[in-house]
Structure 1
Amino acid sequence: MAVKISQGLKLKQTQSLMMTPQLQQAIKLLTLTHLEMTDLIASEMVENPMLEEAQPSDNDHQLDRLEKENVELKSENFDEPTLVNKENDDFDWQSYIEAYNSNSSQPSMVGPATNEDMPNYENIISRGMTLAEHLEWQLRMEELTEQEIDFAMKVIHEINDDGYLDVSFNEILAQSRDIERETAQEVLEIIQRLDPVGCATENLVDCLLAQARIMEERSPLLEKIIREHLDELKNQSHKKIAADLGVSEEQVRKTAELLHQFYPKPGRLVSPQDTHYVIPDIYVVQVGGEYVVQVNDDGVPRLRISQLYQSMLNKNETEADKEANRFVQDKLKSALWLIKSIHNRQKTIEKVSKSIVRQQQQFFKKGPKFLKPMTLKNIANEIGMHESTVSRVTTNKYMHTPIGVFELKYFFNSGLGGKDGGVDISSEVLKLKIKELVEAESPKKPLSDQKIADLLSRDEVKVARRTVAKYREMLGIPSSSKRKVK
């Protein structure tokens, strides 16, 4: 029997689920260090001819005009940026820019710190967290049993750089015989809600669903489309999806646009950085007995729209002019998005920092021993943001205070020792107490973990021996048998 074999080429067009470059840029800005952000702005000013640096005498700023003119720049939740005239679809860019540049008068976001408050940058260095370290840091603030923590750590260390599990949930569960499936599933869902949202999933559908579930206003239609019609959505088969779900094509199209906020490879949002010098993003200074937060704007240029390119807007005499006008409008949208994103980054950092200072007054007054237990959820609830956003803002951000320079992540610690009437303290304070007890012990008769737990209980800090052992190991302190001097 002869088999006929033929060769041919086929061209297939598909739509990938990707975030727009503007949205990627907005999220990236949140995680960048101060130095990285200023470098990115400098690069954008080279790439986008619409951007130029305003001189102090110009007394203008992009952001006031966005609120006062009939223009909407959607960025509060990192949506796709669109510029809309509410009265006329044919937007008069020239009038907008002229009014904007002549009337805008918003001052700089913060005043500069005084020379006395500026830190000495020499020898201040840091290394970024890996994805696993970043997830573990957040996990420690969850109220989990040791059994649940152990299972969670097994899950975290099976997550690849894209954020997906290298082995299935069932395989991990099979290796953890002392935890029930229902409990393990709950732990998995907790990990999937950590920043970056959607990690620890096995496929794209689960990854997107995890991100859909944490939306401020959940969309049952979106979740159904993700679960049942992702392939059709990739092929833009809106009509088929609409028929299957009994909704209009327009509903499908608008709902699908929400996916622009999602990230198909969430793990890529966190990557370990090379060792770098730290430039604080926030200064905390004491003024009249109060602690005041100032966001570091040093080196951040105040941007404006290039006057040279303004003259190119709304010219319609020739096709060449129309083409140039479209180019300029695209660059203008990109420029306004960047300016709004920078402002959003700085204001978000300011909100988080002010909330930290409000909740940690004793720390700033008396020092690290008075650091209170505080979680991402505490701050997120106070400022009305999602925990993942707070986590992203604290990444590689440093606060210069009267008592030293601290990474924002330092202030987030789970509470320990608060059971059975004990005093609830932060994990960082517990580390300090353990370290002090070990430093004060007799070299010939070092304290056992149980003895340390007993001594802590005298201060109403009730912790188990195994908890002491865990934090002792985190401090790099050997066991009592190894510390003993003969």
Structure 2
Amino acid sequence: MLGQRLEVRQGQGLVVTPQLQQAIKLLQLSNQELDAFVEQELERNPLLQRDEPEGETGDAPAATEAADRAEMSFDDGRAQDGGDAVDARSDDVHGEASPGERASDRAAEDSQPGLSDWSRVGAGGSAPEGDYERPDEHEATLWEHLQAQASQAAFSAPDQAIALTLIDAVDEGGYLRIELAEVADRLGCALERVEAVLAVCHGFEPTGVMARTVPECLKLQLIERNRFDPAMAALLDNLELLARRDLIGLKKVCGVDGEDLTDMIAELRGLTPRPGAGFGGEPAQTVIPDVHVRPDPAGGWRVELNADTLPRLLIDKRYHGVVQAGARTETEKTFVADCAAQASWLVKSLDQRAKTILKVGSEIVRQQDAFLAFGVEFLRPLNLKTVADAIGMHESTVSRVTSNKYVSTPRGVFELKFFFTAAIQSVDGASTHSAEAVRHRIKSMIDAEGSDGDVLSDDRIVEILKEAGIDIARRTVAKYREALRIPSSVARKRMLKTA
């Protein structure tokens, strides 16, 4: 029987207010994103102002109050405050309310191996601590260089438009990344005309620019050197054999002997597969660490917030009193009250954000002190739950704090997420090994192969690791090797023979 009735139920729930949503958002912002957010708030809220060295009005600076006292040193695994104690109660990272979320923000980051050695871009070392200046001078970009040449190529007006359209489709490596038929259709001209303009553009500097494939890029450079012949054409058509170091197959398709093939390969090595790489592009974003880790003279490690990345904000109470006294209508009074509440909440949120970053960073340093002292081989397995339990927060909070945050250590600048690595069981089952440390050991073994001419297969690497007490499967070794962009043992043998 259907009917209506009234019931009273009692329960608990968390209401996520707009202010709380803002506080949660602040946790996962990088220092560049936080600076942009603060700029928006300064424009929107007239009661907020930046803390200038000569200014003395308003409340204490947000976030920098924590920076002035945010210093922790570690000795024998114990954390000691260098100033006022940092609040670490429960998982309430915002003082009066907790985000209360129960879902971790985990994302697997798999390395993507490159397609060829030519396309690999070397990564430099860590940024030197304390030196984050960017050059002011403007370096001509590849596109500006090509446009300048197109303006001097005596193109007609329609051909000039085609050339500029093609130049706009050139990537940073100097390759043309658009179909010619698409250009012809977009501009309403014949495909042959686009091909004729491209043929002229192929004569631009640097040689090989605006090629559509690696073989075409190398072909243009060989033509300029007058070294393009049928044998070299066959070699360019079979670069996959060269990548596999299949010298027997190359000699057969090129119709040359071993000595000629060696000379041809040497000529290819002298070419530039990325002709546009030498030109300035978009300025690279400098990694600015959020946390500094330094050796403590008394022993252990000293963890400090980078005060340069923390916004210095004040609530201008003098101006607040003026506008509050001048408010006449209810709308004006409501606006002033809202601005004051938002400013106060932002100041507290920024201060709590700084404290939370310090707590998480300090716990990570405590867990990974062996890595800082002895190197990557001593990196311990670590997950979000271990850190969260140690500091009394939830995993989701730790995940947000470690996103887009960097720490400067004596061993370089690392993202905080770098220190979270999977565990690989030992043979005896009594201990575990960090996946990053195992990857480093595999790389070290393979790097030492050339000394005696012996190449280690994946099975042999598994045996060596098991002898060292690391229980690992062959497929895991292969996955780590591919992530490190190391070819198979067969390919490495061919490389040694070629050398």
TM-score by length of 2: 0.50
Shift of 1:22: 2.9
Q: Deviations over 1:57-112 (max 9, x none)?
A: 528416799xxxxxxx9654149xxxxxxxxxxxxxxxxxxxxxxxxxxxxxxxxx
| 1:462 to 2:462 alignment | no
2:170 alignment counterpart: none
SS at match of 1:284: strand
CA distance in 2 between counterparts of 1:55 and 1:121 reads 21
2:376 alignment counterpart: 368
Aligned-pair Cα RMSD in Å:
3.1
| 1:336 to 2:357 alignment | no
- Percent identical among aligned pairs is 42
1:310 alignment counterpart: 321
Shift of 1:300: 3.2
Question: Do 1:312 and 1:328's aligned partners in 2 also have CA atoms closer than 8 Å?
Answer: yes
Q: Which amino acid aligns with 1:358?
A: R
Shift of 1:290: 2.6
Task: Choose 414-423 or 431-440, whichever is displaced more.
Answer: 414-423
Question: Do 1:371 and 1:426's aligned partners in 2 also have CA atoms closer than 8 Å?
Answer: yes
| 1:282 to 2:291 alignment | yes
Could you tell me which runs of 5 or more consecutive residues in structure 1 were left unpaired when the two chains were aligned.
1-16, 66-72, 80-115, 124-273
| 1:353 to 2:352 alignment | no
Aligned pairs for 1:64-213 within 5 A: 75-78=96-99, 117-119=129-131
CA distance in 2 between counterparts of 1:368 and 1:122 reads 30
Shift of 1:421: 3.9
Number of equivalent positions:
274
Shift of 1:340: 1.4
CA distance in 2 between counterparts of 1:339 and 1:474 reads 43
Shift of 1:312: 3.1
Aligned pairs for 1:405-416 within 5 A: 405-416=413-424
TM-score by length of 1: 0.51
| 1:436 to 2:434 alignment | no
CA distance in 1 between counterparts of 2:95 and 2:300 reads 35
Question: Do 1:117 and 1:285's aligned partners in 2 also have CA atoms closer than 8 Å?
Answer: no
Q: Deviations over 1:324-356 (max 9, x none)?
A: 222111011111111111112111110000001
1:28 alignment counterpart: 25
2:412 alignment counterpart: 404
Bigger radius of gyration among the two: 2
Q: Deviations over 1:392-433 (max 9, x none)?
A: 111111000111101101100111132434652101101100
CA distance in 2 between counterparts of 1:122 and 1:444 reads 45
Question: Do 1:75 and 1:341's aligned partners in 2 also have CA atoms closer than 8 Å?
Answer: no
SS at match of 1:313: helix
CA distance in 2 between counterparts of 1:374 and 1:397 reads 17
Shift of 1:19: 6.1
CA distance in 2 between counterparts of 1:285 and 1:40 reads 30
Q: Which amino acid aligns with 1:430?
A: V
- 392, 414, 421: which one aligns with 2:400: 392
Q: Which amino acid aligns with 1:283?
A: H
Question: Do 1:449 and 1:469's aligned partners in 2 also have CA atoms closer than 8 Å?
Answer: yes
Q: 1:369 to 1:120 in 2, by over 3 A?
A: farther
Shift of 1:56: 4.0
Shift of 1:314: 6.4
SS at match of 1:312: helix
Could you tell me which runs of 5 or more consecutive residues in structure 2 were left unpaired when the two chains were aligned.
1-13, 66-93, 101-127, 136-282
Q: 1:382 to 1:311 in 2, by over 3 A?
A: same
Question: Do 1:422 and 1:460's aligned partners in 2 also have CA atoms closer than 8 Å?
Answer: no
- 456, 462, 479: which one aligns with 1:447: 456
Aligned pairs for 1:33-44 within 5 A: 33-44=30-41
